[in-house]
Amino acid sequence: MTATVRIPTPLRTVTGGKATVTVDGSTVREVVKNLDAAHPGLGERVLDDNGEVRRFVNVFVDDEDIRFASGLDTPVRDGATVSIIPAVAGG
């Protein structure tokens, strides 16, 4: 399974400026693990010390918030787009 991961601006320092990165993985957990292998340091930006998604990080698989699916165990189909997006305020 190969997914395209969209990298938000604050994390592009870790990806050498790349806005999208292609990695393997059949779940979000695997995608994040492989992202970190390809771009060391990215994992700890997304996950906290307990291995959970940081509370101000939102992850979407094909536009679906993984908190509405199975969290880090959310399946990632071949060719899926995974977006990592900081939480933003509203109004």
Nearer to another protein, 50 or 68 (CB): 68
20 three-class SS: strand
Can you tell me the distance from the alpha carbon of 19 to that of 1, in angstroms, rounded to the nearest whole number?
20
x/- binding map, residues 51-90, to another protein, per CB under 8 A?
---xxxxx-x--x-x-xx--------------x-xxxxxx
| 50 binds another protein, rule: CB under 8 A | no
Q: Minimum CB separation from another protein for residue 11, in Å?
A: 8
Contacts of 5 (CB under 8 A, 6+ apart): 20, 21, 22, 23, 31, 35, 81, 82, 83, 84
Interface residues toward another protein, by CB under 8 A: 6, 8-11, 13, 19, 45, 48, 54-58, 60, 63, 65, 67-68, 83, 85-91
